Chains A and B, each alone.
Chain A
Amino acid sequence: MLKLAAQRLVALVPLLFIVSLLTFSITDLLPGNPAELIVGDDATQEQVDLVHERLGLDQPWPQRYWDWLTNALGGDLGTSFFNSVEVTDAVLLRLPVTLSLTLAAVVVALFIGIGAGLIAALRPGGWTDRAATAGATVGQALPNFWLALILAVVFAVKIRWFPATGYTPLTESPGAWLRSITLPAIALGVGAAAILARQTRSAMVGVLQTDYVRAARAQGLSARRVVLKHALKNAMLPVVTVLAFQVTVLLGGAIIVEQVFAVNGLGSLAVTAVRRQDVPLVQGVVIISVIVVVLVQLATDLLYGYLNPKARPS
C-alpha cells in the first residue's frame, strides 16, 4: 500500500506541472496590459511603466514562469494585482469554507447515491428499482443553483429551519456550522448522488451476475452476506472512479452554490479575480484547487488499491 501511495504521489508531479504551465500561459494571453488596469485611466505612461516593471511584466515569458514556479514551490504564489494581498493567504483563508461545503456534499452524495443504487440493484425491475432510477434521472436534471434557491425559499425563508445565507466556521460553533452548511450541501450533492446511484446500480447488477457471486451462493452463503460482503467490495470499484471525478465537479459546483447562499468561499474570490483580471489570484485559485483535486485523487487511488488487489504493485 505504501508503495502504491509513493508511486501515485510521484505520478502526480507532472500533472501539477502541466496544469501550472497551462494556467500560466493561458492567463498570459489576457488582452490588455494589467498595469494599465491597476493604475487607472488617468495615470501617466511613466506610472504605467513603473507598475509594469514592478510586476515583472517586462521580463520574457519563460523567465516569468520560472520565477513564478520557483516561488510557488516555496509556497509563495505572488501578490494580488489590486490589494497587495498575498495570494497564498487569500486562497488559504477561503479554502476551508469551500472544502467543508464540498465534503459535506460528498457525504450527502455517498449516502443517498450508494444507498439508492444498492436498493435498486437488489431487485432489478422491481418498484424500488424504478423509484430509485426515476429519482436519479430527475436529480440529474436539476440545476444545482436552482435547487439551492428553492431549498432556501422553503427551508430558510418559509419555515426557517436553516439560515438563508452566510457561513459559520466549524471552529466557531459546530452546531451553527452544520446548520449553515446543510442546505448548500444538499443542493450541491443531489446531482452527484444521482450519478453515484446510477453507477452503483449498474455496477452491482453486473457484479451480481459474476461467477464468484454464483459460486458464493452455491456455497450456501446468505443473499445478504453475498451482497454486502462479496459483491459490494467489487461493485465499489467503478463507483470509486466516478466519485473521484465527482469531487472535482462538486468543487466547481460549490462556486455557484456559494453565490446563492452568500457564502464567502473560493467561488466569490475566483469570480472577482476573473472580473478584475487579477492574474496572480486566478492562477493561485486554480493551482490550489488542483492540488486539492490531486490529493482527492490520491486518496481514491489508495481506496481503489484497497478494493482491488490487482491494482496494487507487486
Chain B
Amino acid sequence: MTLVSPDSGPGAPPASRPGAGAASDLLGSRQRFARRFFAKRAVIPASLIVLAVLVAGIFAPWLAPYDPLDQSLLDTMQGPSWEHWLGTDDLGRDVLSRLIFGARIVLIAVAQAMTVAVVIGVPIGLFIGYMGGWWDRIVMRVVEAVISVPGIMVVIVIITVLGTGLTKAMIALGLLFSTAFLRLARGLVIAEREELYVRAARVVGAGTGRIVRKQILPNIAAPLIVQFTLTTAAVLLAEAGLSFLGLAVQPPDASWGTMLTTASRFINLHPWLALPPGIAIALVVLAVNLLGDAIRDSIGRGVGETATLRPAARDFSAAGTGADGAPASQRERTGVPSDAALVISSLDVQFPSPRGVPLTVVSDVSLHVRPGETLGLVGESGCGKSVTAMAVLGLVPEPGAATAEAILVGGQDVAAMSRRDLQHIRGTQAAAIFQDPTTSLNPAFRIGDQLSEILRIKRGMTRKASRRRAVELLEMVGIPDAAARARAFPHELSGGMAQRVAIARALSCEPKLLIADEPTTALDVTVQAEVLALLRDLQRELGMGMLFITHDLAVVADICDRAAVMYAGEIVEEAEVTELFANPRHPYTEGLLGAVPQAAHRGTALRAIPGVVPQPGEWPTGCRFAPRCPYSTTQCTAAPVEIDVQHAHQARCVRAAELTLDGAE
C-alpha cells in the first residue's frame, strides 16, 4: 500500500458495496453477523493485534520499561538484549519504549484524521446524493479535482498552509480522506434512492427526512463501516509516511514513522533499527484490513442468498438426499427409442449446504428426447429445470455435483466422459440458448465475430469462410440486413434480435439437440410468437431434438410434442401434450392448468394452488406435493412416491389411477 490515497483499500469503488440487505444483518440480527464474523480464521489474531495497540497506547507510561526520550550515549545502536528487548537507537534510547509510545501516536492520529474525514465526508455525501442537481455537480467537480492530484501533494499543500505537526497533518489527511467517504455515501444514496422501496415509502407519504433516516441510512451503514475500517488502515500508513518525511510528528517524539526516519539514516550501519517499527506498522495495518474484510464478508449479501439457499429447517437426512427405493436401472422405462437425441436416466444434483449435509435440488430425473421432437420441461421457479438442463452439458454451476446412471447425447454418455470429449460434444452435438438473450451474448465482441469464432474452432473453417457462414446463419434466423448487422455489438440489438443471434450461434454446428432454457420468458408476446415460430421452422429444417424449458403452459401447448412437469426437484408427470392437457393424471398438473387466467372469467375466482413451493431441503418425506394437494391422504405421506413408468402417460401419484382430474378448457 502506498502513502496517502483517499481510496486505498479494496472497499474503495462504491460499486463493490455489499447488497442492500447488508445492514439488516449487521444491525438487526447481530448474532448471525457475529457467528459469521468470528468464524473467520484471521479475525481472532487480528482483533488481538488491534487490542494490543489500544492497550499499549493508553497505558504507555506504565508499560514502557524506559522513558522513550531518555538518551544514553554509552549504549547506542545496540541489538536486542535483556536490558533492551528491542535494542537501542542512535541516541541510546530504548526501542521498545519508543514503539509503545508510538502506539499512542497511532491512536491519536487515527482518531483525529477519521473524525475529520467522517464528519465532513458523510453528511456532505448524503446531502448531495439525495439532492442531486447543482449541489451535486459543483461538489463533485471539486472532489474530482482533488482526487486527480496525487494524495500526498494535496496533503503537502494543506500542510504548507497549516504548518507541520501531528494534529495539523492529521487534519490535512482527514480532509483528503473525507473525499472517499463523501463519494461512497453519495454513491450509496443514489443507488438507494432508486430502490423500489424508497418509491413505495414516498407513495405512502414519507418525507425526505424520514426516508433518509428510516429507509436509506440503515441500508448504507454497513458499507460505510467497512470503508471506515479500510480508511483507518490507510490513515495509519499515511501518518507513518508523513512522519517519515518529517511533516507530521517531529523528532524527538517517538512515532513509528520518525523511528523509520532514524533507521533510514543508519540503515547501512545498523539495519536492525528498521525492523521493529516497520513490522509494527505492517502488522497493525494488516490486522485492520483483515477486520474490514471480515466485516464485509460477514454482512454478506443478505437477501438473495438466504432466500434461495436456505439450509434445511430440520434434519432431512433420510428424505432429501434422493433415497428413493429401487435403483432406476431395475425399472422398465417405456418408449425410449434407441436413436434418441437425449436420454437422461436417474439424474441427481446436489449442492453443498452451509449445514454440511448436501442439499439435493434435483432427484431421480429421467427423460428422453427423440430426434425432431420437442420435449417441454415445465415447472415453477426453483424446481430444478435449469440445473437439469445444464447437467446435460456437464455444466452444473460450480459447487454443485451431478450424478446420473447415464446421460446419453446422440448415444454417447456424457456422464462418463472426459473433459475433452465433453467439450467436443458441446456445440456440435448439443447446444443451448438461455433466458436473457442480451446477457448471454458477450458484450465486448461483435455478434458476427462471436458466430465465426465458433465456426472456426468447432468446425475448422477459415477466417473468411467462417465470416461468410456467420452472415448466412444470421440470415437464416431472420436478421434483416445481416451483413451489416454482423458488425453490431449485442447492446445495439433488441431482445428479440439478440435471441435470434443466440439461436444462430447455438445452431452454427448443427447440433442434434437444442436445449432452450426459457428462451422467450424475457420477451414481449409478439416477439415471443416470432421466436417460437422460428424455432419450429428451424427444427423442421434441421431435424434436431429440443428440450424446451418454460414455466408457461401456453408456450408448452404451442411448441411441445411431449411435456414433463417438474415439482420440487422431480418429474411428477410426463405425457404427450394433447393427452397431458386433456387428461392430467397428477393433481399438481391439474392445479397448474386451472391456474391459467385464460381459463376463468371475470367474477369467478381463479383456481389457485394453496401454499408455496417448498425450498430444497424442506421437501416432505412422502409425496412432495402432499401439503398442497387437495386429494392427499395418509397413504400419500407414508413413503416417497415412485413414478409409474409402465404407463406411457407417467405420473408420480399414488392415487393417479383412481382420480379423475380436470384438463385444460
1/0 per position for A135-158, CB-CB distance to B under 8 A?
Answer: 001111111111001101100010
B290: Cβ under 8 A from any A Cβ: yes
Q: Which residues of B contact A211 (CB under 8 A)?
A: 434, 436, 439-440
A248 pairs with B147, CB closer than 8 A: yes
B403: Cβ under 8 A from any A Cβ: no
A83: Cβ under 8 A from any B Cβ: no
B160 pairs with A141, CB closer than 8 A: no
Smallest beta-carbon distance B424→chain A, Å: 7
1/0 per position for B150-164, CB-CB distance to A under 8 A?
Answer: 111100111111010
Smallest beta-carbon distance B168→chain A, Å: 12
1/0 per position for B485-511, CB-CB distance to A under 8 A?
Answer: 000010100000000001001100100
A22 pairs with B145, CB closer than 8 A: yes
B441: Cβ under 8 A from any A Cβ: yes
A212: Cβ under 8 A from any B Cβ: yes
A250: Cβ under 8 A from any B Cβ: yes
B638: Cβ under 8 A from any A Cβ: no
A308 pairs with B444, CB closer than 8 A: yes
Q: Restricting to A215-267, which residues have a CB under 8 Å from any CB of B?
A: 215-223, 225, 230, 233-234, 238, 241-242, 245, 248-253, 255-256, 259-260
B431 pairs with A219, CB closer than 8 A: yes
- Determine, out of B24-32, B277-285, B312-320, B369-377, the stretch whose residues face the partner at the interface: B277-285
B444 pairs with A198, CB closer than 8 A: no
B193: Cβ under 8 A from any A Cβ: no
Instruction: Given A218-B432, A308-B444, check contact A289 B142 (CB 8 Å).
Output: no
B160 pairs with A274, CB closer than 8 A: yes
B444 pairs with A248, CB closer than 8 A: no
A249 pairs with B145, CB closer than 8 A: no
Q: Which residues of A contact B398 (CB under 8 A)?
A: 124
How many residues on chain A are close to B (CB under 8 Å)?
Answer: 84
Give the interface SS of chain B, mostly helix, strand, loop or mixed.
Answer: helix
Partner of A15, one of B2, B144, B237, B431: B144
B361: Cβ under 8 A from any A Cβ: no
Q: Restricting to A4-38, which residues have a CB under 8 Å from any CB of B?
A: 14-15, 18-19, 22-23, 26-27, 29-31
Bound form: Cα–Cα A149–B256 in Å: 14
B150 pairs with A141, CB closer than 8 A: no
1/0 per position for A266-296, CB-CB distance to B under 8 A?
Answer: 0000110010010000100110011001100
A145 pairs with B241, CB closer than 8 A: yes
B329: Cβ under 8 A from any A Cβ: no
B536: Cβ under 8 A from any A Cβ: no
- Determine, out of A45-53, A72-80, A166-174, A188-196, the stretch whose residues face the partner at the interface: A188-196
A313: Cβ under 8 A from any B Cβ: no
Partner of B426, one of A145, A198, A209, A220: A220
Bound form: Cα–Cα A241–B12 in Å: 11
B457 pairs with A256, CB closer than 8 A: no
Bound form: Cα–Cα A31–B489 in Å: 58
1/0 per position for A289-308, CB-CB distance to B under 8 A?
Answer: 11001100100000000011
B149: Cβ under 8 A from any A Cβ: yes
B56: Cβ under 8 A from any A Cβ: no
A145 pairs with B244, CB closer than 8 A: yes
Smallest beta-carbon distance B71→chain A, Å: 23
A242 pairs with B237, CB closer than 8 A: no
Partner of B15, one of A194, A238, A282: A238
Most chain A CB neighbours (cut-off 10 Å) among B10, B146, B506: B10
Give the interface SS of chain A, mostly helix, strand, loop or mixed.
Answer: helix
- Determine, out of B267-275, B474-482, B602-610, the stretch whose residues face the partner at the interface: B267-275
B425 pairs with A249, CB closer than 8 A: no
A217 pairs with B395, CB closer than 8 A: yes
Most chain B CB neighbours (cut-off 10 Å) among A139, A140, A146, A248: A146
B442: Cβ under 8 A from any A Cβ: yes
Partner of B428, one of A124, A198, A220, A285: A220
A285 pairs with B153, CB closer than 8 A: yes
Bound form: Cα–Cα A294–B149 in Å: 9
B393 pairs with A218, CB closer than 8 A: yes
Q: Which residues of B contact A29 (CB under 8 A)?
A: 161
A310: Cβ under 8 A from any B Cβ: yes
Bound form: Cα–Cα A124–B16 in Å: 18
Partner of B432, one of A31, A215, A233: A215
Bound form: Cα–Cα A221–B432 in Å: 13
A84: Cβ under 8 A from any B Cβ: no
B260 pairs with A145, CB closer than 8 A: yes
A214: Cβ under 8 A from any B Cβ: yes
B141 pairs with A215, CB closer than 8 A: no
A141 pairs with B233, CB closer than 8 A: yes
Smallest beta-carbon distance B544→chain A, Å: 15
A310 pairs with B489, CB closer than 8 A: yes
Task: Report the nearest A residue to B15, measured CB to CB.
Answer: A238
Instruction: Given A146-B282, A149-B274, A153-B271, check contact A212 B440 (CB 8 Å).
Output: yes
B156 pairs with A274, CB closer than 8 A: yes
Bound form: Cα–Cα A297–B152 in Å: 18
Q: Which residues of A contact B286 (CB under 8 A)?
A: 137-138, 140-141
Most chain B CB neighbours (cut-off 10 Å) among A143, A188, A225, A233: A143
14 contacts between A and B (CB under 8 A): A22-B142, A124-B398, A140-B285, A146-B281, A194-B1, A199-B10, A219-B454, A219-B458, A234-B443, A245-B147, A253-B2, A274-B157, A282-B157, A294-B148
Q: Which residues of chain A have a CB within 8 Å of any CB of chain B?
A: 14-15, 18-19, 22-23, 26-27, 29-31, 124, 137-146, 149-150, 152-153, 157, 164, 188, 191-192, 194-195, 198-199, 202, 209-212, 214-223, 225, 230, 233-234, 238, 241-242, 245, 248-253, 255-256, 259-260, 270-271, 274, 277, 282, 285-286, 289-290, 293-294, 297, 307-310
Name the 10 nearest CB pairs between A and B, nearest first. A252-B150, A220-B427, A220-B426, A253-B2, A141-B286, A252-B152, A146-B278, A141-B285, A249-B5, A18-B145
